[in-house]
Structure 1
């Protein structure tokens, strides 16, 4: 891979004539960057796909190619991408439906809006992978027929398709109404009974770890039930019986459904597996009483997931925040807090509650400034990136709390050039602060030069337009390919240097 040319292909300052020159020598990596350029013309897109046909998918999704530009025989990736966007030609679909290349038929099967005769052809395909792909995306009418397909893999795909009729899903998950499946991917390839080694040494093997078949296709049927449980179109009454199923994976899938009756939620709340209880804890279907019961669960993941439940009461959330590690994230319940609740959180004696509130970026100036002077460093660390602080306020945060808040202060969009320079000189240094400064719009050349000395910040700083042009040019020979690509993509790289680099 030519990292310099890949970087140049993404350089926003690259003149159109140099884009043309890059297209003429592009390989797949360079083409991938060129295809994402906002200034790529229609003519250049056509030239690029003629040079590197694999770039067609990105170009189609960017809206830079039309059916008039494409020969489906010579450019199948482009034609299939257009069909996937529903702007291809029907005759292309008929062409690919009988294409000898399996991957082309499989890609076609994932397209929606196909002609009915094409659907019929794909449903009868000799390769089960094509039929399974069709089952995953096709219409309710077709899924109804494919639910009785003799291959279990096709039935699994039908169970995952949200367009599958509820009655069909209910029958699939119950294993009723249709003859048993005759084959699965395991018994297609191995003599049964067979259990696939979790550490299979065969490089050409694509069976999933643990896949098994004793003649009943049990692992695929299990996956089918799991897919149906996760499918919102599966009727509630068809899934409630899985609350006592011996498979933890199936109980977990059930616990995440938002349509569960309270009685089923109660049974899952005392499940012996913490992962099942954790899936339930985040479920918006659980009521206040169950939330409070789960808050007493001693498993950390249950408590953490409960904190992410959008309906968790604030008093419960406050206790959870003090007992479990939630992380620097804006919880749904905090984001939806009323003005009165915001006031309550801001005045909470629990610093964890104030820290959660500080993640909001729409706080009033009064509350924001009160949190900025909070005695707890965790609260200040959360509020520090909030826009609207003066340089003096940001410096005061660093003066009071030092290394604990330096990186978050550096991430503040209003941090001044002078402050950013000072943060790179802070003693002791804070590695994450260099990365924040390196991507900051107000970073100056001296600050960026300091960032180049940090291994993780170096690739970020190499792409900053405020870096001196001579330094950018020197970075083109760096030993780190990420630095090289970032420097080549830097819009401040001198045009004369760029011209010399493009063949």
Structure 2
């Protein structure tokens, strides 16, 4: 990879004639960078895809290519890119459905809105992975047909398709009403009975760990049930019976479903695995009684799951926060707290609750300023990036709490250039603070030059437009390719240097 040219390809200050020159020499890496340019015209997009066809996907996503720009015979990847965006021509789908390259047919099968004729061809493709890809996003009628496919892998894909009819999904869960599958990926390749060792030493083996078949295709049938239980279109009545299943893999999907009776959630709460109980604890559909019962769970992951439940009562959340390491994050229940609840939380005797409140970025000014003057450093760290804080308050935070809050103060969007310079020149600068300064739009050249001395902040600072041009030029020969690419992408790079770098 040419780091200089990849960086230049994204440089917003690159002159139009240099963009044209770069397109003419682009390889796949450079083309991917060029495809992201905001100033890329339709004509340049056409030239780019003619040079590097792999860039078509991003160009199609951005709407920079049209069907008139692509010859499906000469540019099948570009045709597939447009079909995946719903911008291709129906005739292309019929053409590509017979493409001899399996990967292209597989990509075609994943395209939405395929014409019926193409779907019919793909539905009988000799490669099961092509049919399975079609099954993942097929319409209801096609999904119903593919649910009876002789290969279990295709049925497994249908089970994850939300467009599949509910009755079909129920049949895939129970197996009732469908003819037995005759094949799976395991018995296609191995003599049964066969169990795939998770530590399989064969380098050419791509079977999933623990894949197994004794003639009943058990591992694929299991995954089919998992997919169906995760599928919100699968009827509730078809899934509730798995609440007591010995397999955690089948109970976990139930724990996150929002449509189960309360009695089923209570059965799931008795699961021996903390992962199932933690998933259940985070489910907004569980009732208050179950929430309070799970709050006493001995496993911290379960209590953390409950903390992110948007329906957890504040008194329960307070108990959880005081006894469980949650971290400084904006919890859903805090994010939706009312004005009265905000005032209650701001006055909480528990610093951790004030910290959690301080993660909001829409606090009333008087609440924000009160938290900024808090005596507890973890509260101040959380409030420091809040917009609207004055420079004087930010300075006071650093004076009172020192290195513990510097990185968060540097993250404040309104931190002044002078404050950022002070933080960079601090007697004990914090590495996280230097990274925040390096990406801050108000950072000065003096602050950025300090950031360049830190290995982790250096690649970030190298791309900052406030860096002196000569420093940017010097970074083009850095030993770190990330620094080189960032410098080449820096708008501060002199135009004459850019011209010299482009072949």
TM-score scaled by structure 2?
0.99
Q: Provide the residue aligned with 2:35 in structure 1.
A: 35
Cα RMSD between the aligned structures? Answer: 0.8
Shift of 1:467: 0.3
Specify the alignment match of 2:59 in structure 1. Answer: 59
| Matching residue of 1:419 | 419
- Structure 1: how far apart are the matches of 2:447 and 2:428? 16
Deviation at 1:213, TM superposition (A): 1.1
3-state DSSP class of the match of 2:239?
A: helix
Hey, what does 1:295 align to over in structure 2? 295
Q: Which residue of 2 aligns with 1:222?
A: 222
Inter-partner Cα distance in structure 1 for 2:23 and 2:475: 24
Q: CA deviation at 1:73?
A: 1.3
What does residue 322 of structure 2 align with?
A: 322
Q: For the residues of structure 1 that align with 2:188 and 2:433, how far apart are their CA atoms?
A: 55
Q: Take 1:198 and 1:472, find their aligned partners in 2: how far apart are those partners? A: 49
Q: By how many angstroms is 1:197 displaced?
A: 2.1
Match of 1:382 in 2: 382
Q: How far off its partner does 1:114 sit? A: 1.1
Equivalents in 2 of 1:281, 1:21: separation in Å?
57
CA deviations 1:290-331 (Å, max 9, x no partner) are 000000001111011111101000111111112222223211
Q: Secondary structure at the match of 1:363?
A: coil
Tell me whether 1:430 sits opposite 2:427 in the alignment. no
Aligned with 2:472: secondary structure? helix
Provide the residue aligned with 2:279 in structure 1.
279
Query: Superposed, which structure 2 residues align to 1:128-143 within 5 Å?
Result: 128-143=128-143
Aligned to 1:312: 312
Match of 1:470 in 2: 470
SS class of match (1:267):
helix
Once residues 214 and 449 of structure 2 are traced to their aligned partners in structure 1, the CA distance between those partners, rounded to angstroms, is 64
Q: CA deviation at 1:212?
A: 1.2
Partner of 1:5, secondary structure, is helix
What secondary structure, in the 3-state scheme, does the structure 1 residue paired with 2:23 have? helix
Where do residues 320-469 of structure 1 align in structure 2 (5 Å cutoff)?
Answer: 320-469=320-469
Report the Cα offset of residue 428 of structure 1: 2.3
Residue 68 of structure 2 aligns with which residue?
68
Q: Deviations over 1:314-364 (max 9, x none)?
A: 111111112222223211111111111111111111111111110111110
Query: Partners in 1 of 2:391 and 2:118 — Cα distance?
Result: 64
**1:168-207 equivalences in 2 (<5 Å):** 168-207=168-207
CA distance in 2, matches of 1:431, 1:371: 25
Structure 1 CA distance for aligned equivalents of residues 143 and 260 of structure 2: 25
Cα deviation 1:395-415 (Å, max 9, x = unaligned)? 111111111100000000111
* Aligned residue number for residue 78 of structure 1: 78
Q: Residues 261-280 of structure 1 correspond to what in structure 2 (within 5 A)? A: 261-280=261-280
Deviations 1:183-234 (A, max 9, x none): 1111111111112121223222221111111111111111100000000000
Give the distance between the partners of 1:8 and 1:204, measured in 2 at CA. Answer: 39
C-alpha distance in structure 2 between counterparts of 1:74 and 1:401, whole Å? 64
Distance in 2 of aligned mates of 1:88 and 1:325: 51
Question: Equivalents in 1 of 2:188, 2:342: separation in Å?
Answer: 60
1 CA distance for matches of 2:309 and 2:427? 40
Q: Provide the rounded CA distance (Å) in 2 between the counterparts of 1:448 and 1:194.
A: 60
Distance in 2 between residues matched to 1:267 and 1:7, nearest whole Å: 56
| 1:424, distance to aligned residue in structure 2 (A) | 1.1
The offset of 1:425, in angstroms, is 1.9
1:375-400: CA deviation from partner (whole Å, max 9, x where unpaired): 11111000000011111100111111
Give the deviation of 1:113 after TM superposition.
Answer: 1.1
Distance (Å, rounded) in 1 between the aligned partners of 2:4 and 2:323: 49
- Provide structure 1 residue ranges, at least 5 long, that are not aligned to the other structure: none
